[in-house]
Amino acid sequence: MAVSSAAVQPRPSILSRSLSLLADSRNALGFGFMLPAAALLLVFLTYPLGLGIWLGFTDARIGRPGIFIGIENYQYLSEDAVFWLSVFNTLLYTISASILKFALGLWLALILNQNLPFKSFFRAIVLLPWVVPTVLSAIAFWWIYDSQFSILSWALIEMGLIDHRINFLGDPVNARASVIAANIWRGIPFVAITLLAGLQTIPQSLYEAATLDGASRWQLFRFVTLPLLTPIIAITMTFSVLFTFTDFQLIYVLTRGGPVNATHLMATLSFQRGISGGQLGEGAAIAVAMIPFLLAAILFSYFGLQRRKWQQGGGD
């Protein structure tokens, strides 16, 4: 008993000494503190990212690990009209929705930046579409776009503007316009509120000085507001473009890609082929095909941030 305790005695002190040594080293401590986040992200983000790229080169199916088939998936996709249609749809969806989100969001931000009664109340309710789960608000849109009982058709007929119900989601052109409109509805609040934050950092004295110099309202906007807002516009729109490009929920609820694939985005096509159709390899290849576009958006964001540093007079 006594022997064993004597033998054990010195060990804790070495352990605690090395522990306190570790606690003093910022690198060791930093490593320890980073561990939970790094483990989560490496296992569930970096690894799947690599696995996805690998799956794109295999013919994996659900329940069967695939074998390496080189670029066969991509060769197949490059001859697949539906895939190219989905690329076209995604670009159309992203570009038109982003431009309109930006224009309307900026307009709303400029309005909210005015001296309004109940200002904080308005700011709060404007954010609502962004807070509510997309799927649930998309279900509301589904009902709004119903072919028989659409409230929009009813209102337009009552006003005498049209004489028959609009087939919102059944016709390719209408369906595209409808999903874009729903996406804009959901995206405006985010753009408006972040741009509003940017607007509030612009000092009023600049406007006063410009007004004294005889600037018109348009010139105030063009030569004072816009240049000072550019950095935050770059960041906001990068995020907006990124999330619009990879959108899935809205399409899945409203059209599932139909009619005749007119609203299939790359994300929904990837889901349809990969999960519903069981062709994991092909689905992964479609997802991987989105990466170049995303990289372009991220580079755009990076240069936006650089420009911001330069504008603030910092180095780099």
Report the residue from 15, 40, 99, 226 that binds another protein according to the rule CB under 8 A: 40
Q: What residues contact 102, with CB distance under 8 A and at least 6 apart?
A: 191, 233, 237, 240
Report the residue from 86, 98, 178, 194 that binds another protein according to the rule CB under 8 A: 194
Q: What residues contact 188, with CB distance under 8 A and at least 6 apart?
A: 101, 104, 105, 108, 129
Phi, psi of 69 (to 5 degrees): -125, 20
Report the residue from 187, 257, 274, 304 that binds another protein according to the rule CB under 8 A: 274
Nearer to another protein, 119 or 307 (CB): 119
Report the residue from 7, 131, 159, 161 that binds another protein according to the rule CB under 8 A: 131
Q: Which range in 10-18, 94-102, 172-180, 284-292 contacts another protein by CB under 8 A?
A: 284-292
Q: Which range in 2-10, 91-99, 166-174, 228-236 contacts another protein by CB under 8 A?
A: 228-236
Per CB under 8 A, does 115 bind another protein? Answer: yes
Which sign does the torsion angle of CA 272, 276, 282, 283 carry?
positive
Nearer to another protein, 150 or 261 (CB): 150
Nearer to another protein, 7 or 205 (CB): 205
Nearer to another protein, 47 or 68 (CB): 47
50 to 79, contacts with another protein by CB under 8 A? 51-52, 55, 60
117 upstream amide cis, omega within 30 of 0: no
Query: Least distance in Å: CB of 234 to another protein?
Result: 11
Instruction: Classify 258 in phi/psi space as left (phi over 0), alpha (psi -120 to 50) or beta.
Output: beta
Q: Which range in 70-78, 94-102, 171-179, 184-192 contacts another protein by CB under 8 A?
A: 184-192
Structure tokens at 197: 């934050």
DSSP secondary structure letters along 197-248: HHHHTS-HHHHHHHHHTT--HHHHIIIIIHHHHHHHHHHHHHHHHHHHHT--
Report the residue from 21, 71, 162, 275 that binds another protein according to the rule CB under 8 A: 275
Tally of helices (H runs) and strands (E runs) in the chain: 17, 0
Residue 129, burial from CB neighbour count under 10 angstroms (0-12, 13-18, 19+): middle
> Which amino acid is located at 162 in the chain?
I
Report the residue from 91, 100, 129, 172 that binds another protein according to the rule CB under 8 A: 129
Report the residue from 183, 246, 255, 261 that binds another protein according to the rule CB under 8 A: 246
Per CB under 8 A, does 126 bind another protein? Answer: yes
Query: Least distance in Å: CB of 122 to another protein?
Result: 7
